[in-house]
Structure 1
């Protein structure tokens, strides 16, 4: 059997930047093991599987699809960049005729719509709560050594730990910070943390090339040492920084080696719009 497969760089308009995701189009259902084997073969942080919901559906005309995301190690409940990549394949490559498509996922229904400046995803917004530093001090020490920390929050919905680095540090410090992700799982193996967000206040999006906040994201607990640009982490970050900055519209940059940016807009009802660009870098057939 051959499956159409694409690799899309998400949260960037340039090839070889942003976050690459593999996207597979499924005419028929696959067993669980094959999903995981394909994701392991692709060896990207995420492989997305777009599935027809009904036999009569087709990828060009239909507006609702199933969507699942797999790292090389496991299935995950939400992945923003692979959702953006999946939307780009449908809109730009398959030429889906709809302005908006809906994905049925483990995180409920997610919508993506075409816009002049990219694709806008409608995702859940995940609030954070204060975290007792003593409970995670070993993890923070391994990640940051003696770097000053200004705030620590936790997202119970996503099991992501958010660590805000002191405002005295700048973007270049976060970009050059060396984190040995393999050591993180050695000090945190309780299952309470599934992702570590390091974040830093920006200079403000009102300035040329300015951003409201910066971040990096590490998830060795799900098989991803460092994720280049992470939509699901920004569903947590945006909740935090909106409260800190008193803003609902923000620009964010993730400071991985590849780097990527997005616009975020908080909406009523605990939702967030994340806008990003994409670049298609590979298409072919996967033989299984």
Structure 2
């Protein structure tokens, strides 16, 4: 059996940046153990398996602007093409204020002695959000050296599964990013996620209130880096958009 497989760099307009993921097109379901074996073979943080629910549908639809709905283990995911951006329709996840004293060791493990302006928690995603002081610039966030083992030693309750450090952007910059972030998730086996769409459902909610804006341009400052457009909607959802490029295409032989 041969299965079409792609490596896609998402939230990027060129190769070797953004979030790399494998995408495998299926004609029918596989045995459960094969999914894990294929994902291990791809050796990327994400491997997506796509199968048509209606066998008569074509993967390569002539109407490239239609909204596609993916039935995932986490629920329905809707995505559409808008120019050269892929737009994901996601629920907004609003964070709540977190007492810094309750997670002071975790904060120190992440940002050391840097001044922290806000600490928040999103229970639905088990994320801690740490906002650095506005006195810092982007290079301070990029220069952080976060030890994943130290994070895991500071948090063993299961309440936190990822930690996001964020910083207000530079409106005078080119591009004029509204905010920056980095995402560390060693509890999931990911020391640092290159670009994280789900985190921006939380960050979008937070920064929209702080900046008084519903449409924002964000940059995740991982070593690979990734750009995202975040747009809050009146129906309680958020559009997270990014470009994507295919960097590898072939067939997987089973």
Tell me what 2:12 maps to: 12
Asked whether 1:43 is paired with 2:10, we answer no
Query: 2:208, 2:32 → 1: CA distance?
Result: 38
Matches within 5 A, 1:162-201: 162-201=129-168
| 8 Å CA contact 1:198, 1:217 repeated in 2 | yes
Query: 2:5, 2:91 → 1: CA distance?
Result: 27
Q: Structure 2-normalised TM-score?
A: 0.94
Query: 1:31, 1:236 → 2: CA distance?
Result: 35
Q: What CA deviation, in whole Å up to 9, does each residue of 1:21-71 have, x standing for no partner? A: 11011111123322222222212121111122134444234xxxxxxxxxx
Query: 1:196, 1:13 → 2: CA distance?
Result: 26
Query: 2:31, 2:66 → 1: CA distance?
Result: 31
Query: 1:31, 1:134 → 2: CA distance?
Result: 47
Alpha-carbon shift at residue 96 of structure 1 (Å)? 6.4
Query: 1:39, 1:184 → 2: CA distance?
Result: 26
Query: 1:166, 1:37 → 2: CA distance?
Result: 44
Q: Which runs of 4+ in 1 moved over 3 A?
A: 54-58, 95-98
Tell me what 1:213 maps to: 179
Query: 1:97, 1:207 → 2: CA distance?
Result: 33
Alpha-carbon shift at residue 106 of structure 1 (Å)? 3.1
Asked whether 1:263 is paired with 2:229, we answer yes
Query: 1:147, 1:97 → 2: CA distance?
Result: 46
| 8 Å CA contact 1:121, 1:275 repeated in 2 | yes
Change (3 A) 1:229 1:98: same
SS at match of 2:149: helix
Q: Which 5+ residue runs of structure 2 have no aligned equivalent?
A: none
Query: 2:173, 2:144 → 1: CA distance?
Result: 25
RMSD after superposition: 1.6
| 8 Å CA contact 1:126, 1:270 repeated in 2 | no
* Aligned with 1:248 (options 208, 214, 219): 214
Alpha-carbon shift at residue 14 of structure 1 (Å)? 0.8
Matches within 5 A, 1:95-174: 97=64, 99-174=66-141
Q: Which 5+ residue runs of structure 1 have no aligned equivalent?
A: 62-94
| 8 Å CA contact 2:65, 2:82 repeated in 1 | no
Q: Structure 1-normalised TM-score?
A: 0.83
Change (3 A) 1:96 1:181: farther
Q: Which moved more, 1:51-60 or 1:23-32?
A: 51-60
Q: How many residues align?
A: 254
Query: 1:150, 1:39 → 2: CA distance?
Result: 39
Query: 1:150, 1:168 → 2: CA distance?
Result: 10
Q: What CA deviation, in whole Å up to 9, does each residue of 1:208-255 have, x standing for no partner? A: 311100000011111111111111111111011111111100000010
| 8 Å CA contact 2:94, 2:122 repeated in 1 | yes
| 8 Å CA contact 1:59, 1:96 repeated in 2 | no
Change (3 A) 1:97 1:214: closer
